[in-house]
Chain A
């Protein structure tokens, strides 16, 4: 088993729940060794997309089209449950959303750690415990105490850190973190983000961070992808996207962030509301109801994702502007 940051290529991925697409025709590349952040509002399809990397979308959800090609592993969309079980943990570390609720309430954290090690054939269990303590220590926790604790003895923030430890401890080189800091306050969040970045670099990982908080992505991610209504509407290097967002949704979203300093009136809410699975338009652009740049073509044709330099944007208005 090679231990190198793998590249990931998601191509034309569509995931449906009861035939309604929650992720639609999404293509995204995670270059080896980078941190990619996916942002989007509630229900935009972030977790569904992330779960596809483990082929773990739950029924009634199903991957209806597309592929997820991971270096050294293969196209996981075609994997059977047993194949997935083998790579999960050892090759793909995953922190599920609401990880603070996903521990086994009946077993201590240490016991769960040993179960995890055994199920992946780890021989040096002592070393595993040492690594776990080390990781917990770096996240500001007393490792020995945490391993001896049951879930109910830990605060939400502590459990979240346990989830991150379990995802990293088997030395997986592809790590997916779904909302890793939501239950945390600012100071703890900032500590965790720093550690995510450090571990990522030390171990040479490929990391995917899912969040509704642009600030989190801005802090950790090299690349940023923006989801809306199941579509990836814009992606590119984080700083560039933040400094000059192209898609009208990205622009509106960034403009809507309450800011600590600067002119209060500059921040503006985005009119309208995000779509749900039932209200996502079947044709045309998913964002058009809220879009200030809407044109006739937006009502009928779903804009394709097109590359403009380092940026990929799915918008008719941007295309017209870029080709003008």
Chain B
């Protein structure tokens, strides 16, 4: 179980000292991912998804808040003592092309982390060979034909599987998949998503899925949670299918309204929400961060900050004074 409470991260923009601009990448984010569970972070470019993922994987520091892994608060440990915890949280990057060393065969790629693991657990070279084959089988690759190959001899989908196999060599608690299928060909994308879901079920590995393609979030498991992030703040959170099919925050509704409709196959929602303007990074005066773009804002929205919480008759958490259901999502057309 991995939880975070009140995570805050501010980047000081390098460069001009006089006009030192600060980017509030995360403004107090809470999340919780059970063992073997799934969570997805979605939101516009720059909303802080990757930063949050990197903090959870121990690759980035944070300014405020607490990360708790298996009941141990990371702030209570010295950096060195945190390492074993964070090592079990493995990041899978977007680009399977640059993630693998082109001069190493797949076996060599897997061998390095396995050697370390063998040393730690007092195992021999034979175990390394076996385990290399095993992790490849786990990700649906044929070890016999893949082990001796170089990355350029594999397709994008196969490479991403190798990257996942490499992450599995350390028996991870959780995989953080940051846009892990965005660069994979459409015909192969679902295969990788199904693999992540399968690893959850078979190995009990939790999956944290970061994406701008909301639809893909459903495919790592409908028991998962969805966190919609806007400018460093979670503005809607609940079960993935609840939030997608019945969003109540106008920002979530804008995101879902913007997803292309497969005309001919799907019927667009009848109440699409379009933001009043483009992304506005300027600071609001303590009001809702989305107020300036929100077609439904009132005076209250521009002066008071809505907190993430629950309201009558809405199963998910949201941060809007006026939660309202709107029909924004395309539906399959009947008869096709």
Give the interface of A toward B (CB within 8 A): 41-42, 140-141, 155, 157, 184-191, 193, 212-216, 218-219, 238-243, 252-254, 256-262, 264, 267-270, 273-274
Q: Chain B residues near A193: list those with CB within 8 A.
A: 260
Please name the 8 residue pairs, one residue from A and one from B, whose CB atoms are nearest each other, closest first: A215-B260, A239-B264, A242-B264, A269-B191, A190-B258, A270-B187, A243-B264, A269-B190
Q: Chain B residues near A191: list those with CB within 8 A.
A: 278
Indicate which residue in A41, A215, A239, A262 contacts B332 across the interface (CB closer than 8 Å). A262
**Contact at A259–B185, with CB atoms within 8 Å?**
no
Taken together as a complex, chains A and B put the C-alpha atoms of A252 and B190 apart, in Å, by 12
Interface residues of B in 247-278 (CB under 8 A from A): 254-266, 275, 277-278
**Contact at A261–B331, with CB atoms within 8 Å?**
yes
Q: B146-157 CB contact bits vs A (8 Å, 1 = yes)?
A: 000000000111
Taken together as a complex, chains A and B put the C-alpha atoms of A236 and B275 apart, in Å, by 34
**Contact at A264–B44, with CB atoms within 8 Å?**
no
Q: Chain A residues near B264: list those with CB within 8 A.
A: 218, 238-243
**Contact at A258–B213, with CB atoms within 8 Å?**
yes
Q: How far, in Å, is B94 (CB) from chain A's closest CB? A: 12
- Asked if B158 CB lies within 8 Å of chain A CBs, one says yes
**Contact at A186–B258, with CB atoms within 8 Å?**
yes
Taken together as a complex, chains A and B put the C-alpha atoms of A219 and B259 apart, in Å, by 9
Taken together as a complex, chains A and B put the C-alpha atoms of A184 and B182 apart, in Å, by 12
Q: Chain A residues near B82: list those with CB within 8 A.
A: none
Q: How far, in Å, is A257 (CB) from chain B's closest CB? A: 7
Q: Chain B residues near A185: list those with CB within 8 A.
A: 44-45, 212
Counted as pairs of residues, one from A and one from B, with CB atoms less than 8 Å apart, the total is: 133
Quick one: closest A residue to B211, CB to CB? A258
**Contact status of A258 and B218, CB under 8 A, knowing A252-B187, A268-B190, A270-B187:** yes
Residue of B158, B264, B279, B329 most packed against chain A (CB within 10 A): B264
**Contact at A186–B255, with CB atoms within 8 Å?**
yes
- Asked if B305 CB lies within 8 Å of chain A CBs, one says no
- Asked if B100 CB lies within 8 Å of chain A CBs, one says no
Q: How far, in Å, is B292 (CB) from chain A's closest CB? A: 14
**Contact at A256–B263, with CB atoms within 8 Å?**
no
**Contact at A273–B157, with CB atoms within 8 Å?**
yes
**Contact status of A256 and B219, CB under 8 A, knowing A188-B278, A219-B260:** no
Quick one: closest B residue to A191, CB to CB? B278
Q: Chain A residues near B190: list those with CB within 8 A.
A: 256, 258, 267-269
**Contact at B212–A262, with CB atoms within 8 Å?**
no
Known: A269-B188, A273-B158. 15 other contacts (CB 8 A): A42-B156, A212-B186, A218-B263, A219-B263, A239-B263, A252-B187, A256-B186, A258-B189, A260-B259, A261-B329, A262-B331, A262-B332, A264-B222, A269-B190, A273-B157
Taken together as a complex, chains A and B put the C-alpha atoms of A216 and B193 apart, in Å, by 22
**Contact status of A258 and B191, CB under 8 A, knowing A187-B255, A238-B264, A243-B336:** no
**Contact at A216–B185, with CB atoms within 8 Å?**
no
**Contact at B186–A261, with CB atoms within 8 Å?**
no
**Contact status of A274 and B185, CB under 8 A, knowing A187-B255, A269-B190:** yes
Taken together as a complex, chains A and B put the C-alpha atoms of A188 and B260 apart, in Å, by 12
- Asked if B214 CB lies within 8 Å of chain A CBs, one says yes
Residue of B185, B193, B219, B278 most packed against chain A (CB within 10 A): B185
Q: Chain A residues near B331: list those with CB within 8 A.
A: 261-262
